[in-house]
Amino acid sequence: MPVSKPDHYAVLGVFRDATQEEIRHAYVESAQRLHPDKNVAAGETELFLEIQQAYEILSNPKRRSLYDATLPPEIDEGNRFVKHEVFYSRPNLVQLGEDQLIYLLLEVGPREEKPEQTPAPPLNICLVLDRSTSMQGEKMDILKATSIQLLRSLRPQDVLSIVAFSDRAEVIVPASISLDKKKQEGRIQMMQPSGATEIYQGLEAGLRELRRTQDPSRVNHLILLTDGNTYGDEQACLQLAEEAAAQNIGISGMGIGHEWNDIFLDALAGKTGGSSAYISNPKDIERLLIDKFKALVSTYADEVVLDIKPQDNVKVNYIFRLQPEGGPVAVEAPIRLGPILRDTPLHVMFEMVVSPEALNGNEALLLNGSLKVSVTANPMPIPPTRLRLTREVRQNPSADPPPTRILSALSRLTLYRMQERAQVAVEAGQIDIAVRHLQNLATHLLSQGEHSLAKTALFEADNLERMHAFSASGSKDIKYRTRALLLSSGKEKAG
């Protein structure tokens, strides 16, 4: 029997109609992840050589043409690992002379029937801990105790490094598989608060540690904890996050108290498909950090990236991830949607604006692109899945109601968007408008039985009228508690 030839397109994780630039980009990305100088795991040198061979053939137009002639019909290999489903807020679009909104709920999950039975991936985690002067006392004590607890809970295959920063960074626990845990616990206990907050220093040192033991078969992730603002280095931090995303390193942000910049931390984590969390009480540090570690251990795919081709007269206006880690998603190419957990699929809501010019035919193309997934248990690139989403165009709207799951998610998303609009209005000095948004939010919360959060919204509306500002913790309380409502809604529907 003839030996089957490798599919060089599948090896690089590209479609067969990929451009030369897409092939080159896929090769560079794969070569960085699997280069023998960085990875010593069994079998990865062979994978790297396969990638080199694939690139040598596909980057040469003449050799590529000869190779293409030998290929059987293309099969969507990406479907071996993940499946996806799309729900729409309306069955069809209507021929109107004005813009129309439509919402899409994209669900992406493991293809296998019992993904929770697949082996948990090894971790390569770096804790980047703010140890500036403001962290002294209870916050620092809990941070030390939780770090030691996480160190003791490591499996033999896991790597944990710890960086402490203020206006300079220090590696407290270096990245290493075999650790002298007693010695490292002593170093953690010696951490003392001092200095100001410069997040760039901590991020740079943390990413350096992660890269020392980076491996495509591991979950490579940085967790930043801070209680303060960083000044003057925000753009440099965002640049570091972009570099981390290109290397398949995720970032999560956790803000303690109310002095930190939630917009910045959302943007920082969002660059890698991550999200930020709000720790209002230092006593919650332990629970949230342990929950985060459990989520990382249950990772199935550590990254889902959506590449879309720009559509005339159709705009992606807003993206929000409902689960597993709730938060807004940056509408910038490539769109990093976040992870898939073994027990929690990825649910993402899109708000699309469709112009009248897009409705001339019988069908409107809303989104044209591909989903690319990095499955932790599979170090080789996975071929992307084509995504072509359309809606029928009719003269009159359909009487069919939207699916229940999208209605439920939209009702919760409306609450989050109300508080967002209130925050924007305050920033613009439009206090009356912000007050109305918060009052409307309270009314909707009451109708859904969320009495405690409704009370908070009304308190903040009153505070805005009197003081023209949110209370010290009010802005973050409302933002993260309405975000939590979205997460609970998504998990109910996933069950």
pLDDT value of position 277: 95
How does residue 414 score in pLDDT terms, banded at 50, 70 and 90?
Answer: very high
- Stretch among 13-17, 64-68, 317-321, 378-382 having the lowest mean pLDDT: 378-382
pLDDT value of position 65: 87
pLDDT value of position 488: 60
- Average pLDDT for the chain: 89
How does residue 360 score in pLDDT terms, banded at 50, 70 and 90?
Answer: confident
∠ CA 155-159-161, nearest 5°, is: 130
Walk across the sheet containing 123-130 and list its strands: 169-173, 159-165, 123-130, 219-226, 250-256, 276-279
Measure the CA–CA gap between 238 and 253, rounded to whole angstroms: 13
Residue 68 corresponds to which amino acid? D
pLDDT value of position 480: 95
Measure the CA–CA gap between 271 and 253, rounded to whole angstroms: 12
- Residue 310 has what DSSP assignment? -
Whether residue 107 is predicted with pLDDT greater than 90 in this model: the reply is: yes
Contact 54, 68 (CB under 8 A): no
CATH topology of domain 77-116+300-394: Immunoglobulin-like (2.60.40)
SS3 15: coil
Helices (H), 394-468: 404-427, 431-447, 451-467
Distances, alpha carbon 308 to alpha carbons 5, 130, 184, in Å: 31, 37, 46
Report strand pairing: 299-308 vs 276-279. unpaired
How many CB atoms are located within 10 Å of the residue 350 CB? 23
Largest CA distance in the chain: 83
What single string gives the DSSP state of each residue in 318-329? EEEEEESS-EE-
For residues 296-308, give the mean pLDDT: 92
Residue 370 corresponds to which amino acid? S
pLDDT in tens, 217-248: 889 999 999 999 998 999 999 999 999 998 88
SS3 215: coil
Whether residue 491 is predicted with pLDDT greater than 60 in this model: the reply is: no
For residues 129-152, give the mean pLDDT: 95
For residues 287-300, give the mean pLDDT: 94
pLDDT value of position 442: 97
For residues 68-77, give the mean pLDDT: 72
SS3 218: coil
For residues 66-91, give the mean pLDDT: 81
Token duo for residue 180: 């002298």
CATH for 121-297 (3.40.50.410, 2.60.40.10, 2.60.120.10, 3.30.750.24):
3.40.50.410
Residue 358 corresponds to which amino acid? A
pLDDT value of position 2: 41
pLDDT value of position 494: 45
Measure the CA–CA gap between 53 and 65, rounded to whole angstroms: 15
CATH architecture of 8-68: Orthogonal Bundle (1.10)
Measure the CA–CA gap between 129 and 170, rounded to whole angstroms: 10
pLDDT value of position 35: 59
Helices (H), 75-233: 138-152, 181-189, 199-212
Measure the CA–CA gap between 169 and 200, rounded to whole angstroms: 9
Q: Where does residue 98 rank: exposed (0-12), middle (13-18), buried (19+ CB within 10 A)?
A: exposed
pLDDT value of position 171: 97
Measure the CA–CA gap between 55 and 269, rounded to whole angstroms: 32
pLDDT in tens, 30-51: 776 665 555 545 445 677 788 8
Contact 357, 337 (CB under 8 A): no
Walk across the sheet containing 327-328 and list its strands: 82-88, 100-110, 346-354, 314-323, 327-328
